[in-house]
Amino acid sequence: MGQQNNSAALAQALMQFDMALAEFARKRRGDPKASSLGVLERARLLMTLPGGFDALYRRVSALEGAGIFGTSDWAQPAILQPALAKRSLREAGAVTTIVEAISELRMLAVTRGDYFHPGISSEQARHFLTQVMALNLDLLSGQLNEADRERPKQLGSIVQGLYQYLISHLGYDSLLDSLVAEVWRLLDQGPVQVDSICDMVGQIARCLYDPQLKTTGTADATRLVRALFGPTPASREDPGLELYEQRLTDMDELDLAAEATHFARNMHNTGLASPYHATMLRFLRASYMDDMIPAALGLTMTGLDDYYCYNELVHTLIDEAIYPETCQAVFGLTMMLERGSLFTPPLAQALWRQTKLRLSPETERALQQAFGKARPARVFLLADVLNLLGQPLGVGQGNNPSCQSAIGLSMWATNEADYLLQVLTWAARDNEVLSRFEGWEVSSKNLDPGLVKETPADVDAVSLILIPHLDRIYSEMWYRCEGRDDDAHRWINPEFYGWWVSHGFRVVADVHTGEVRDYDGFVRHFYASYHPFYNGNMPVIHHQPAGIAVTDSAARFVGRHAITILRVTLSPTNEMRVYFFNPNNDSGQDWGQGITCSTRGNGEIRGEASLPIAEFASRLYAFHYDTLELGDLAAIPGEEVARVLELGYSSWAAPTEATG
């Protein structure tokens, strides 16, 4: 039925598009400046439908013949620049983006020999598209960044669909090096969700081993492929799980020890666990060879202590959560032990409860729809509990406006994991989460949806179950703050996240007008609260929520976004940097003015992003601070404050931007 509806919608949209194109062509013959807005809007609608890009691809000649590119640079494809094309696709308005998309469909047709263009050769067209796709490899991850997600008229999704359409026709051969670099860049951030990354590694493997693709693999590419498909001597040629398990039964202890060591080495080198790894752990449990499990996990001193003190619990977690379908939980379990998490007694007890938790029918359905029925729904949920507890900085909001909930999951997994498992139990078992706001109980039951209107389907299992409840509670708290004379985050955040959120609060814009006010005092308060040189060398003890004004690579205001400040300290090169958690699935964002968030190479712990403190402060919108530990405001150098203000006022805080 759904396929029939899609076909009918496409047929209707095509009929309307063809009529608009014919009318546009007729008008252009009489008036070279006749508006193209009508036909471009019909093209945009087509791009939102399954099969729409294919239909437009077949009409590239007609579109160009009708004059869709006019006298613009697009009419001379040989002069087009990939870097400018990226901006047209990712940062421009609807008209420019749709024209650029049509131009790239034209380039694809020229590349494949389906359309001859006198202004560009097929080789030139392929080279151009290769560069454009290499510049947009982040779209292959399946996640949209904040700037893309906030774009109107589904432009972010349209660009992602275009990119995937181009890839499906051009293949990955010419993109291999860029693709490998992109995968490593994402893995450096320690994501909880790795399905899309594994898909990319699968494409790398196809590039390396498809005899029709004459590619030369790099050592980095081989490491990635080996980690998933052949991490050990006995799995080197990817023999399949059944044959691999048979090989395990034929091994002596020395061979098994070698397998365990290879598994641990490849997992820690990449952050990826293989289905073969899960198979071996289950084999060790079934064969009463538990003494090899620490080696297979690659545990160091803290992890070993955690394992041996709670070995019965760890064995139960392996039995209940570790399967080939949930193999990434091997890494989650390992990192949870390496963090010494089980030494917090309430967490060990909460995990015991989680292993036996009875899920509500609604929770069962939601998990099955998202993760399938290869294993019981509780398995997928428990596996992602391990992943989140192992990598609290790896949780992402998916393609959903749920940054507040996502940073809550990260903070709780870090500071109060037993509380996280308590609210998860309520949500998964009872379809309700309880909280308090200013002495009043707040229940997620019967509340209207907040910003998240539908159950998210592109996040980990814990987020899938909890985000709708947390989003409704946060929105209810916001509703109860309506009419107050300051930003509602001042009152909500300490109640929603926990006691450790400081009660001092500064916001740089007027809550009613959006006008930036006392920017100088705002910056001085931030430095006096967080900069070690001006706050008495006081470290950040508990993660603090903060609001940033996100900008795109042209430094234009995109929207407000919640992050957590993790620490402020000198980098290995003695540069004062703010290290923060961004739940936006990709922390290495370009915010313009040369401000690019770093995720590696400046002292970051996996999962952190960082910026020099002045650059971070220039995008800061609101923050919490301890009023009893505030440094000397007058001690902040005037030139440092002036630099922050200049960066802010010339980007998001410009009068037309700040007032929205």
What Rg value do the Cα atoms of the chain yield, rounded? Answer: 27
Residue 216 lies in a domain: no
Exposed/middle/buried for 361, CB within 10 Å: 0-12, 13-18, 19+? exposed
Instruction: Give the mean model confidence (pLDDT) for residues 430-450.
Output: 92
What global pTM score does this model have?
0.82
Residue 139 lies in a domain: yes
Specify the pLDDT at position 622.
Answer: 97
User: What is the C-alpha end-to-end distance of the chain, expressed in Å?
Assistant: 43
Rounded to an integer, what distance in angstroms lies between the CA atom of residue 435 and that of residue 122? 61
Instruction: Give the mean model confidence (pLDDT) for residues 613-632.
Output: 96
Instruction: Give the mean model confidence (pLDDT) for residues 449-464.
Output: 85
How many domains does the chain divide into? 2
Q: To which H or E segment does residue 570 belong?
A: strand 557-570
Asked if residues 534 and 595 have their Cβ atoms less than 8 Å apart, the reply is: no
3-state secondary structure of 231: coil
Instruction: Give the mean model confidence (pLDDT) for residues 52-66.
Output: 93
Nearest to 557 by CA among 488, 451, 648: 648
The tokens of 345 are what? 């007694």
- Where among 140, 170, 200 does a domain terminate? 170
Residue 30: partners with Cβ closer than 8 Å, 6 or more residues away:
none
Asked if residues 434 and 443 have their Cβ atoms less than 8 Å apart, the reply is: yes
Residue 330 lies in a domain: no
Residue 525 lies in a domain: yes
Residue 435 lies in a domain: no
Q: 660 falls in which pLDDT band (50, 70, 90)?
A: very low
pLDDT of 590 > 90? The answer is no
Mean pLDDT of the chain: 90
| The dihedral sign for the CA sequence 129, 134, 137, 140 | positive
More confident position, 63 or 450: 63
Q: 229 falls in which pLDDT band (50, 70, 90)?
A: very high
Rounded to an integer, what distance in angstroms lies between the CA atom of residue 437 and that of residue 207? 54
Question: By residue range, what is the domain housing residue 576?
Answer: 504-658
DSSP per-residue letters across 336-357: HHHTTGGGSHHHHHHHHHHHTP
Residue 245: partners with Cβ closer than 8 Å, 6 or more residues away:
279, 283
Q: 172 falls in which pLDDT band (50, 70, 90)?
A: low
Specify the pLDDT at position 83.
Answer: 73
pLDDT of 212 > 60? The answer is no
Between 156-165, 261-270, 351-360, 566-575, the lowest mean confidence (pLDDT) is in 156-165
- Where among 170, 193, 225 does a domain terminate? 170
Residue 151 lies in a domain: yes
Question: Residue written as tokens 């729809």?
Answer: 369
Helices (H), 91-211: 94-111, 122-135, 146-149, 155-170, 176-187, 195-209
pLDDT of 1 > 50? The answer is no
DSSP per-residue letters across 258-319: HHHHHHHHHHHHHS---HHHHHHHHHHHHTT-GGGHHHHHT--HHHHHHHHHTHHHHHHHHH
Q: Are strands 576-581 and 440-443 parallel, antiparallel or unpaired?
A: unpaired
- Where among 111, 146, 170 does a domain terminate? 170
Q: What is the pLDDT of residues 595-613, one digit of tens each?
A: 999 999 999 999 999 999 9
Instruction: Give the mean model confidence (pLDDT) for residues 311-326.
Output: 98
Between 5-9, 266-270, 564-568, the lowest mean confidence (pLDDT) is in 5-9
pLDDT of 192 > 90? The answer is yes
Between 246-260, 406-420, 455-469, the lowest mean confidence (pLDDT) is in 455-469
Rounded to an integer, what distance in angstroms lies between the CA atom of residue 382 and that of residue 557? 39
Specify the pLDDT at position 545.
Answer: 97
Residue 217 lies in a domain: no
3-state secondary structure of 25: helix
Residue 424 lies in a domain: no
Specify the pLDDT at position 341.
Answer: 95
Asked if residues 136 and 195 have their Cβ atoms less than 8 Å apart, the reply is: no
Instruction: Give the mean model confidence (pLDDT) for residues 557-579.
Output: 95
Give CA torsion, residues 481, 566, 531, 610, to 10 deg: -110
Q: What is the pLDDT of residues 546-564, one digit of tens each?
A: 999 988 777 878 788 999 9
pLDDT of 265 > 60? The answer is yes
